[in-house]
A and B are shown apart, each in its own frame.
Chain A
Amino acid sequence: MAELLRTERLAKSFRGLVANQDIDFTLAAGSMRCIIGPNGAGKTTFISMVSGHQRPSAGEIWFKGERITERSVVRRARMGIVRKFQTPMVFDNLSVFENMEIAVLGAKGPAAARRGRIGEVLDLVRMAEIADAPVKNLSHGQKQWLEIGLLIANDAELLLLDEPTAGMTAEETHATGALIRRLIRDLGLSAIIIEHDIAFIRDLHAPVTVLHLGRILVEGTFDEIAGDTQVRDVYLGEA
């Protein structure tokens, strides 16, 4: 499979505090990866450097063969790297439909085709019934789905999902896993997912990258990671 994203010796420090160091990471097009690690491992920092919200202190980022290390958030989003934030970042005072209308404005292609996508995306995230509802009345879980919907409507190719199941019930979490698998399988999207929920990660059947103290500790399948004694020591043991 073609390479979609690659980082090389990526590093970030905040006034001497090392948040990320020597991150060599690759993601193939049409695939997903979970990033796990204890609090402070540098998971969100890594996502932020990929999305452009943080500039790396050192290292390089390539997306579809282009070097994007210095590119702005806007330009990366236009290339297809779109991010879902830890706390849902949506337009709270607008309706679900109006949220989608703004999201498709950032997508490529003719206006009519973009607008036509809204219905499909609403069906996909199961919000067609509540398209007119004000977003501020939605549950936390619904807002998470809406935000994922915004990324799809926006024509994202690489979804950066920072804790997509935070605040969800077990049932909602399960449905979210199914949604993400569909996006990868049916729409050919790619995703990097930060999560804490071990059952959710197992359900995704995605390769896992474990971060610890800003570095990649180990990468592998869920079973390999679960059986790794280092990982047990730093992460699973604490959980």
Chain B
Amino acid sequence: MSLSRAAGGGRSTPSLGAVVVSENGAAVLTFAVLAGLPLVASDYAVFILPQYMLYGVLAMSLGLFWGFAGILSFGQAAFFALGAYTMGLAMHGGGVAGVIDGAYLGLFLAALGAGALAAAVGYFLFSAGIRDTYFVIITIALSIIAEQLAITQSQITGGGNGMFIDRMMLNLGPLGSFSLEGDAAMYYFVLPIAGLVYLALRRLVGTKFGKVLVGIRENEDRVISLGLDASLYKTAAFALSGALAGFAGALYATHASFIAPSLGGVLFSTEVVVWVAIGGRTSLLGALLGGIVVASLSNYLSAITPEYWQLVLGLLFVAVIVYFKGGVAGALAAMLKARRGRAGEHG
């Protein structure tokens, strides 16, 4: 029967499976290296890496939305900044005595506030049928508004002078409380959080929710015509992405101890897009590593060549977009697949 003619060989190892296996291995390696790094790395590296891991979490928030639902957002910095300022205000407020301390309240409200903002924006745009480029433009506007509000509402935000925030205390109730003042303590506080976020997102993309998002990325009209409410799924994904960015922003605020309006701006939003594009948008690990490695590279380059580092980064970005659309993770997966394919031919 002509219709049952095999189109791609028999039931071989599924390509998606190969990527997952390799991604699992790479993830274990990544977190093992990060866990051991403070033993050998300089003090400065131990101080700065948690910040880059939080950038990695921010990158994963975009990776979920852009890589899986296929919708680009230039608004991640706005959610990040909203989370950071919320954290600052909550810690300055000191929380509710006897119920919750300021830092925990800040983390909670940061995720909730940024998630609610993303949900509201997503709901109105997606249910009105706004797609593609139009959505991107509106998220750019969101970042501009966030930065401008942080500048103009100076009685709340400190305006251009920024806002100072203490390192939070890790209050474990009956087990006592630990200061995160020390950089190593902060490092080992942030690392498992980044790991848990990664694991949770990996699980999420394997659920019905994740599969519907992939369907939306691949063919939204087909998804709708199969009775799946695409705009609802997109809104939920954007809300989750926003909440995660806000949460990362809150931790960033207490780690960096200082935040400024540019944290919410278009420039920073663009950096997030660059991290994810270079790392590989359809791989959450690619996004995480994109955030960590590209931010580290920027830091390094800005020290050795203050004039040209942005140019180098720009060229890298262009090269990735032109030569490997799937970023480094996508290129590695394709290479692995090609090698397996050749092995299959010979074997």
Binding site for B on A (CB under 8 A): 51, 53, 73-78, 82-83, 85, 89-95, 97-98, 101-103, 105-107, 111, 125-127, 129-134, 137-139, 141-142, 145, 150, 154, 169, 171-172, 175
Contacts and interface: CB of A to CB of B under 8 A. Distances in A.
Contact of A101 (B5, B6, B211, B228): B211
B214 A94 contact: yes
A92 B219 contact: yes
17 contacts: A73-B224, A74-B230, A75-B227, A93-B218, A102-B226, A103-B226, A105-B226, A106-B228, A129-B6, A129-B10, A129-B11, A130-B6, A131-B11, A132-B11, A132-B14, A133-B8, A142-B7
B3 A175 contact: yes
A102 B11 contact: no
A98 B15 CA distance: 12
Contact of B227 (A78, A111, A138, A171): A78
A55 B214 CA distance: 28
Interface in B193-237: 208, 211-212, 214-215, 218-219, 221-230
In the complex, which of the residues B5, B7, B208, B228 has the most CB atoms of chain A within 10 Å of its own CB atom?
B7
B211 A102 contact: yes
A82 B2 CA distance: 26
Contacts of A127: 3-4
B182 interface: no
Contacts of B212: 102, 105
B16 interface: yes
Nearest to A134: B8
Contacts of B4: 126-127, 129-130
Contacts of A138: 7
Contacts of A73: 224-225
Nearest to B11: A132
Contacts of B14: 95, 97, 132
Nearest to A74: B229
Contacts of A125: 3
B208 A105 contact: yes
Interface in B7-25: 7-12, 14-16
B172 interface: no
Given A78-B227, A126-B3, A90 B8 contact: no
Interface of B: 1-12, 14-16, 208, 211-212, 214-215, 218-219, 221-230
A74 B220 CA distance: 12
A91 to B, nearest CB: 4
A106 B12 CA distance: 28
A172 B3 contact: yes
Nearest to A146: B3
B326 to A, nearest CB: 11
A196 B219 CA distance: 27
Nearest to A102: B215
B225 A126 contact: no
A74 B227 CA distance: 4
A101 B229 CA distance: 16
Contact of A74 (B8, B222, B224): B224
B219 A137 contact: no
A175 B6 contact: no
A142 B3 contact: yes
A68 to B, nearest CB: 13
Nearest to A138: B7
B45 to A, nearest CB: 39
B198 to A, nearest CB: 23
B66 to A, nearest CB: 16
Contacts of A53: 225
B209 to A, nearest CB: 9
Contacts of A89: 219, 221-222, 225
Nearest to A101: B211
Nearest to A171: B2
Nearest to A142: B3
Contacts of A134: 7-8, 15
Contacts of B219: 89-92
A20 to B, nearest CB: 20
Given A130-B7, A130-B8, A102 B214 contact: yes
A53 B222 CA distance: 12
A94 to B, nearest CB: 6
Contacts of A131: 11
Contacts of B227: 74-78, 82, 106-107, 154
A133 B9 contact: yes
Given A93-B218, A105-B212, A133 B6 contact: yes
Contacts of A139: 5, 7
Given A90-B219, A91-B215, A132-B14, A106 B226 contact: yes
